[in-house]
Chain A
Amino acid sequence: MSDVSTSTDDPEMGAEVAQEPPSGSGQVVWVTLLRIVGALGVPIVGFFLLWATFDYLKNEDANRGLVVVVAIIVGAGGVFLLFWAMDRVVDLLPERYGEGVRPYVFVGPALVILAVFLVYPVINTLLISFKDANSDSFVGLENYKFVFTDSDMLTAIRNTAGWIIVVPIFGVGIGLAFATLADRLRRGEAVAKSMIFLPMAISFAGASVVWNFIYSFRPEGFGSNIGLLNGIMIGLGQNPVSWLDQQPWNNLMLMVIMVWMQTGFAMVVLSASIKAIPEEIIEAARIDGASELQVFRRIIIPTILPTIAVVTTYMVINAMKVFDIVFVMGNAELRGTVVIAERMITWFFIRDHDGRAAAIAVVLFAAIVPVMVWNIRRFREQELTR
C-alpha cells in the first residue's frame, strides 16, 4: 500500500520505486494486486475526467470565450498529464513487465491516432474504390478503368506531372539561389528572407484574392481591367488578355502561385543548411584560388545535398497533393487546369461518386509510393551512419 501512494506523489521517485527489492511471497501477491488495480483505475478515472471536459466542449450553447480558454488548457496540459499518468501506471506494474511496456506508452498514443486517422482511411478508400457510386455493390476494376480513360482524368494526370516537375525545380532553384546570395549580404539578410517567406503565412483563400489582382480580366464593356498583368498590357498599348483561359499556359500561371507560396520554405531550410558549413572550409578553398562559382559547385552543393533532397521531396509531395490553388481559382475543367487531387474532390463532393473518387485517391497514393521508397532508403542510410 505504502509504495503505491508515494509513487503517485512525486515524479522524481519513479526510479527508486522501480528498484525496490522483492519481499515476502504473501506481501508480493498483495502488492501486485494493488498495482494491477491502480494500473486499471488511474487511466479509467483520467479517461472519464477528459470525457467530461470534452462533453462540455461539445456543448454548442457554451460561452465561446470560455470554450476557447478551456480548449487551450485541455490542449496544452491535458495530453501531457495523460502521458504522465500512464507513466505512473507503468511504475506500478511489476518491474519485469514495466520496462517492456513503457516504450509503448510513449509511442502508443501516436500509433493509435495514426491508425485511426491515416491507416484506417487508406484501407477504407481501397475498399470503396472497387465499389459503385454509393458503395453498395462491387464493380471490380470499373472505377480504375475510368481513371485511365476519362479525358479529364488523362488531362489531370498530365497536368499533375507538370506540377511535380515545374514547382520543385523553380521552388528549390530560386530558394537555393536566394539563400546563397542572401548569405553574402552584410545587412538586411533577415528582412530580405522574411519577405520571401511571407507568402507562407497566407491561406489559399487569401492567396486567391491576392492573385486575382494579378490575373484579373474583364472583356470590353464589363468594367475596366484591375489586374496588374492586364494593366501592363494596356500600358504597352496591347489588348488585355484573359490570362487564365490561355491553354496550356494557364497551368503554368497556377504553378507560379504555388512557387510563390513555397519558395520561402525551401529558402529558409537551405539557408540554414548553408550557414552550417564551417567557414574554414570555404576560406581554405578561396585561398587555394577557387572562384566563387567553384566554391558554390564543389563545396556548397555537395555539402547541403541531403537537405536539398529533403526539401525537394517535400515539394514534390506537396505538388502531387495540390488541390486548393486549382479549386479556388475556379473553372478547372473548362480551362483544362484539372489536377488529380482536384478531380478526387470534384467526384466526391460535387458529383457524389464515391467509387471513382476513391479510385483516383488510390492512384494518387500509388504515384507517391516511389518517392516514399526512395526516402525510406535514404533514412536507412542515415540511420547506419548515425
Chain B
Amino acid sequence: VSVSERFETPVMEPIEPAAPGGTLEPRGGGWFVRITILVIVLIWLVPTVGVLISSFRPEALVDTTGWWTALAHPFSAASWTIENYRLSLDTGGFGNAFLNSLAVAIPSTVIPITIAAFAAYAFSWMEFRGRYVLFVLVVGLLVVPLQMALIPILRLYTQGAVLFGLQIFPDLDLGGTFLGVWLAHTGFGLPLAIYLLRNYIGSLPSSIIESAKIDGADHFTIFWRLIVPLSVPALAAFAIFQFLWVWNDLLVAYVFLGGTRELRVLTIALQDLVGARGENWHLLTAAAFISMSLPLAVFFSLQKYFVRGLTAGSVKG
C-alpha cells in the first residue's frame, strides 16, 4: 500500500503536461492561419452536415431535392420533421441492436486492454527467455489482414481443429455467441494494444520500479498499484480506439454473431435498412445518426485522454 502512495506524487507531475498550450503568445500567421483552418474544417464537415440536415427532412423532400435547398428557407415548418427518427427506431428494431452493440463493445474493449496491459508490463519490465523474439512476433502480427483470419476462426468455432486425424482443438460451439465475438475482437485488437501500451509502459522511469522492488513489492503489486495508475492516459486512449473500432465494426459481428434480428448489432441493422429498403434515404440518414451517437459522445467526453495517452510513448525522444 505504502509503495504506491510514496511514488505516485513525484511521478505524476512530469507525465501531466505542464502547460495547456493555449496561452502562448500569438506568432505570425493571423488571418492566413484562421482562414486555412476554417476552410479545411468546412470541407470536412460538409458530408456529415448533409446527412444531419437530411435526417430532419420529410421523406418526399429528401428524395426530390438536394439537402442544401433546405437551407434556403430554414424557418418553414413544412421542411422539417422528426418522423425519420421515430420510424427507423420503430421499424428497424434498433433498440435491441443498440443493446447487442453494447454487449459486444464493452467486453471487447476491456478484455484486450487487460490482457495487453499485463503482457506489455512483462515485455517492458520482466526478464524471461524469448522476450525480444516474442515481442517482435506480436508487432509483426499487426499486419495480418483481418479478413484472412475470419474463416479459419469461424471453422475453429464450429468444428474445432483436426490435424492428422487428431482433435487438437475442441469444438467449442462458439459460432453466434457473444463470447465468440469478444475473443475475436480481443485477438484482432491485441497486437496494436500491446504495441502502444508497451511503448508507454516501457518509457516510464525505471527508478520507480527498482525502488518499489527494493521495498519488497512483487510484480503483481507493482503492476496493479504503480503501473496501472500511471498508465491511465494510455489505457484510456486505447480504450477509445478499440471502442470506436468495435462499435463501428460490421464484418466481425456479421461473421461470428450473424445477422439474425435477435443478435444483430447496430451496424448490421443499419446495413439491413440499406439492403431491404433500397433508396429509402430518409430512414438511412436518421439510422446513421443513431448509430453515430454513442461513439461521438464517447469521443467528445474522452478525447483529452486520447490525445495525451496515445503519443506519450512515441514522442519520447
The residues of A with any CB-CB pair to B shorter than 8 Å are: 11-12, 14-16, 18, 54, 57-58, 60, 64-65, 67-68, 71-72, 74-76, 79-80, 83-84, 87, 100, 102-104, 106-107, 109-111, 113-114, 116-122, 124-125, 174, 177-178, 181-187, 189-190, 192, 194-206, 208-214, 223-228, 231, 260, 263, 268-269, 271-273, 275-276, 279, 286, 292, 304, 306-307, 310, 317, 320-321, 323-324, 341, 344-345, 348, 354, 357, 361, 364-365, 368-369, 371-372, 375-376, 379, 382, 385-386
Instruction: Give the shortest distance, in Å, between A239 (CB) and chain B (any CB).
Output: 16
Asked if B147 is at the interface of the complex by the 8 Å CB criterion, the answer is: yes
Instruction: Give the shortest distance, in Å, between B244 (CB) and chain A (any CB).
Output: 6
- Take A57-B179, A292-B29 as given contacts and tell me if A106 and B219 are in contact as well, using a CB distance cutoff of 8 Å: yes
Q: Decide if B103 touches A194 in the complex (CB within 8 Å).
A: no
Identify which of B22, B218, B274, B317 contacts A15 (C-beta below 8 A): B218
Q: Decide if A365 touches B184 in the complex (CB within 8 Å).
A: no
- Take A110-B115, A121-B149, A203-B247 as given contacts and tell me if A209 and B285 are in contact as well, using a CB distance cutoff of 8 Å: yes
Collect the chain A residues with CB atoms within 8 Å of residue B187's CB: 113-114, 116-118
Q: Decide if B27 touches A306 in the complex (CB within 8 Å).
A: no
Instruction: Give the shortest distance, in Å, between A376 (CB) and chain B (any CB).
Output: 5
Instruction: Give the shortest distance, in Å, between B248 (CB) and chain A (any CB).
Output: 4
Asked if B159 is at the interface of the complex by the 8 Å CB criterion, the answer is: no
Identify which of B54, B67, B296, B311 contacts A269 (C-beta below 8 A): B311
Instruction: Give the shortest distance, in Å, between B40 (CB) and chain A (any CB).
Output: 6
- Take A14-B221, A205-B250, A228-B50 as given contacts and tell me if A184 and B29 are in contact as well, using a CB distance cutoff of 8 Å: yes
Q: Decide if A196 touches B315 in the complex (CB within 8 Å).
A: no
Identify which of B37, B67, B147 contacts A341 (C-beta below 8 A): B147
Collect the chain A residues with CB atoms within 8 Å of residue B150's CB: 121
Identify which of A195, A213, A271, A354 contacts B307 (C-beta below 8 A): A271
Instruction: Give the shortest distance, in Å, between B255 (CB) and chain A (any CB).
Output: 9
Q: A65-B99, A71-B106 are in contact. List 12 more A-B contacts (CB 8 A).
A: A12-B1, A64-B99, A121-B151, A178-B37, A198-B45, A198-B296, A209-B51, A213-B67, A214-B47, A226-B62, A260-B44, A386-B202
A119 to B152 alpha-carbon distance, docked (Å): 11
Contact with A along B150-189 (1 / 0, CB 8 A): 1111001000010000000100010011110011101110
The residues of B with any CB-CB pair to A shorter than 8 Å are: 1, 17, 21-22, 24, 26-29, 33-34, 36-37, 40-41, 44-48, 50-51, 54, 62-68, 96, 99-100, 102-103, 106-108, 110-111, 114-116, 118-119, 121-123, 126-128, 131, 134, 136-153, 156, 161, 169, 173, 176-179, 182-184, 186-188, 190-191, 194, 202-203, 216-221, 223-224, 244, 247-251, 262-263, 267, 270-271, 274, 281, 284-285, 287-288, 291-292, 295-296, 298-300, 303, 306-308, 310-311, 314-315, 317
A11 to B36 alpha-carbon distance, docked (Å): 56
Instruction: Give the shortest distance, in Å, between B154 (CB) and chain A (any CB).
Output: 10
Closest to B42 in A: A195
A118 to B218 alpha-carbon distance, docked (Å): 32
Collect the chain B residues with CB atoms within 8 Å of residue A357's CB: 151
A226 to B287 alpha-carbon distance, docked (Å): 19
A174 to B39 alpha-carbon distance, docked (Å): 12
Collect the chain A residues with CB atoms within 8 Å of residue B299's CB: 194, 197-198, 200-201
The CB with the most chain B CB atoms within 10 A, among A198, A201, A227, is that of: A201
Closest to A98 in B: B218
Q: What are 8 sample pairs from A and B whose C-beta atoms fall under 8 A apart?
A: A54-B179, A76-B106, A121-B148, A122-B144, A174-B40, A213-B50, A272-B308, A279-B24
Chain B, interface SS category: helix
Closest to B202 in A: A386
Closest to B107 in A: A75
Q: Decide if B106 touches A184 in the complex (CB within 8 Å).
A: no
Give 9 closest A-B pairs by Cβ, nearest first. Answer: A75-B107, A117-B187, A203-B248, A106-B122, A103-B128, A110-B119, A121-B149, A201-B295, A272-B311
The CB with the most chain A CB atoms within 10 A, among B128, B152, B247, is that of: B152
A321 to B144 alpha-carbon distance, docked (Å): 9
A177 to B39 alpha-carbon distance, docked (Å): 13
Q: Decide if A107 touches B119 in the complex (CB within 8 Å).
A: yes
- Take A75-B107, A185-B34, A210-B51 as given contacts and tell me if A104 and B128 are in contact as well, using a CB distance cutoff of 8 Å: yes
Identify which of B139, B173, B184, B217 contacts A379 (C-beta below 8 A): B139
Q: Decide if A376 touches B136 in the complex (CB within 8 Å).
A: yes
Q: Decide if A76 touches B110 in the complex (CB within 8 Å).
A: yes
Q: Decide if A203 touches B270 in the complex (CB within 8 Å).
A: yes
Identify which of B103, B169, B191 contacts A71 (C-beta below 8 A): B103
Closest to B151 in A: A348
Q: Decide if A368 touches B143 in the complex (CB within 8 Å).
A: yes
Closest to B131 in A: A103
Closest to A317 in B: B143
A319 to B61 alpha-carbon distance, docked (Å): 37
Identify which of A122, A209, A272 contacts B288 (C-beta below 8 A): A209
Q: Decide if B143 touches A210 in the complex (CB within 8 Å).
A: no
- Take A117-B149, A192-B37, A195-B44 as given contacts and tell me if A80 and B127 are in contact as well, using a CB distance cutoff of 8 Å: no
A369 to B121 alpha-carbon distance, docked (Å): 27
Closest to A178 in B: B40
Collect the chain A residues with CB atoms within 8 Å of residue B271's CB: 205
Instruction: Give the shortest distance, in Å, between A135 (CB) and chain B (any CB).
Output: 10
Q: Decide if B27 touches A117 in the complex (CB within 8 Å).
A: no
Q: Decide if A118 touches B139 in the complex (CB within 8 Å).
A: no
Closest to A379 in B: B139
Instruction: Give the shortest distance, in Å, between B92 (CB) and chain A (any CB).
Output: 13
